[in-house]
Structure 1
Amino acid sequence: MRIGFIGLGSMGSAIAKNLVESGHDVHVFNRSPERTESLRQAGANVAASPAQAAWLADVVFSMVADDAALTAVTRGETGIASGMRPGAIHISMSTISVAAARELADFHRQAGFGFVSAPVFGRPDAAAARKLFIMAAGADEHLKVAVPLLEQLGQSVGIVGTDPSHANLVKLIGNFMLSGIIEMLGEACAVAAKAGIEPSHLVELLTNTPFNSPAFRIYGSLIAKRQFQPAAFALPLGQKDNRLIMAAAEALGVPMPLANLVHDRFVTLRAQGYGAEHDWAAVGLCAQLDAGLGRMPEGV
């Protein structure tokens, strides 16, 4: 199958490479051209624009940082839509707002293209190993094309429904739940440390109980060790997703006290100089600092 792929960050690069290795004719584009070289060496064709990557493609994937980036690579003279053939399908794997997903679904429908939202749960190592958990939503005829491709990229594909924006809402809900786990682990490690129990030992003990899940193991280890670099999921992206779930909840009339607490954690960390080079697991540091367990590291 001829596939366009837009966005070669740490996640996008791994996903695009898997599509190449699955035998597809993949045409890639990235705003920073140096990110395309490893894909070229793997067998992908490098395009000069999103439109060129989408030209004659059956399916175009995008994996970019936020609403603005997705709009930029989709619209305009060199955007995905200007290169897509009638009936082609755009699969957006980005974590974007519910409002943006609705707007893009309408835009594609009016232009005669298919649109499927398929955001993912998983870090770059999971993407490389085809172990992502993927949430997909779109019209049935578009999902029939998209799902077999998505199954080549992850360990499961959950079908959310026919409204693409619902897949994005489920992804935001999931990231909210992960942020709650990170806050919980930070508080748990603070209590343990104040009592003289080594946080890493606490995490080891509890992840051999009903808390034996990837989220508790991965984030528990990072928080206990205060190991927030390199970033597998950058702090500003986590902060962006926190804002998006709060906006979606407000629009639905749903209060989210825990999301507001996590919002303040993000603001605290950013004010102290934490940024894109830090993993969002650093949210778990705040509870420990509140408990008097050390100070914010200098020169972050």
Structure 2
Amino acid sequence: MSKIAFLGLGRMGEAMATNLLKAGHALTVYNRTPEKADALKQQGARVATSPAEAVREAEFVFSMVTDDHALTELTTGPDGILSDLPANAIHASCSTVAPETNRQLAAQHATHGSYLVAVPVFGKPDAAAAAKLWLAVAGPAEARERIKPILAALGQGTQDFGDDPGAANVVKLCGNFMLGAAIEAMAEAFTLGQKSGIPRQQMYEFFTSTLFNSPVYKGYGKLIAEEHYQPVGAPPSIIRKDLKLMLNEGRERVVPLPFANIIFDRLSATMARNDENIDWASFAQRVSDDAGVDNYK
């Protein structure tokens, strides 16, 4: 049993924290909105009033927050993680942030005598609840090895991307872009089929049982075929933020990313409609809009 702190209890964070608790670890949790910790408290977690208090005795710290600013503030701000984190403790940074953000925070951890390991995850909240996430891991070799048994409680597999903590975040940004590209491709294909007299559902069933028989095409394809984008895995604003990070990385590395720009623009148009209480894959409806298809739900 390890002493673990979990900071950030949105739908993903709460599900991941619950699985750590189920695995028998001593868990302390913190969330800026305290009420979100109630369910975990009832299951035996201790609730802290600040990040510093939460990590005071921790061997491992997990953070799952919205963006780079939130992670930086949580780590280095007043009453942040580095205020009271014990030496040799490991901070598993699970948020989708810029690669450089985790590199900079890893350097501050090293100065402090602790470690940061980037552990961005792939999967929706239901996959997190079922401990079926896929995890990308990068950071100091010693810390990666020590945290490996803890990560087993969270997902169905991990992939090691080496010593550079930014590497795992590059993988995460690329993965989210690839999901977006698949959504755009299916939306265009299903819409063309529909306007040619072929039902969207028939297109979906054929492709996902033959050439594209995979979880991504089956899961997101069902939403696109039915044009029903509930429940919300992630809202458009969150993934738009990720695509912006992807485009920034492309500029930094001098890599043209024309498809990423298309997806970013689709998400921007979706946000402009104030469609937040809907899954981010709903940007596929913009394809229907452009094609004059007005029977979507």
Which bracket does the TM-score occupy, shorter chain normalised?
Answer: over 0.9
Question: Which consecutive segments of 4 or more residues in structure 1 shift more than 4 A?
Answer: none
Quick one: distance in 2 between partners of 1:279 and 1:66? 18
Cα-to-partner distance string for 1:86-137 (whole Å, 9 max, x where unaligned): 1111000111011211111111111111110000000011111111000000
Partner of 1:76: 77
The answer to whether the Cα contact below 8 Å between 1:189 and 1:288 also exists between their aligned partners in 2 is: no
The answer to whether the Cα contact below 8 Å between 1:184 and 1:284 also exists between their aligned partners in 2 is: no
Cα-to-partner distance string for 1:52-88 (whole Å, 9 max, x where unaligned): 1101100110011110111111112311111201111
Partner of 1:288: 288
Offset, 1:295:
7.3
Quick one: distance in 2 between partners of 1:57 and 1:160? 25
Partner of 1:35: 36
Structure 1: which 5+ runs fail to align? none
Offset, 1:154:
0.5
The answer to whether the Cα contact below 8 Å between 1:289 and 1:296 also exists between their aligned partners in 2 is: no
Partner of 1:204: 205
Cα-to-partner distance string for 1:6-58 (whole Å, 9 max, x where unaligned): 00000000000000010000000011111100001111111111111101100
Partner of 1:120: 121
Quick one: distance in 2 between partners of 1:77 and 1:232? 32
Quick one: distance in 1 between partners of 2:295 and 2:107? 49
1:98 is aligned with what amino acid?
A: P
Quick one: distance in 2 between partners of 1:65 and 1:50? 16
Partner of 2:182: 181
Partner of 1:230: 231
Instruction: Quote the sequence identity (%).
Output: 43
Quick one: distance in 2 between partners of 1:15 and 1:2? 15
TM-score, normalised with respect to structure 2: 0.97
2:139 is aligned with what amino acid?
A: G
Partner of 2:242: 241
Partner of 1:145: 146
The answer to whether the Cα contact below 8 Å between 1:5 and 1:62 also exists between their aligned partners in 2 is: yes
Partner of 2:17: 16
Structure 2: which 5+ runs fail to align? none
Aligned residue-pair number: 296
TM-score, normalised with respect to structure 1: 0.96
Equivalent positions of 1:53-64 (< 5 A) are 53-64=54-65
Quick one: distance in 1 between partners of 2:114 and 2:295? 53
Offset, 1:286:
1.1
Query: Structure 1 stretch 104-113 or stretch 18-27: which is displaced more?
Result: 104-113
Helix, strand or coil for the counterpart of 2:161?
A: strand
Q: RMSD of aligned C-alpha atoms? A: 1.2
The answer to whether the Cα contact below 8 Å between 2:193 and 2:200 also exists between their aligned partners in 1 is: yes
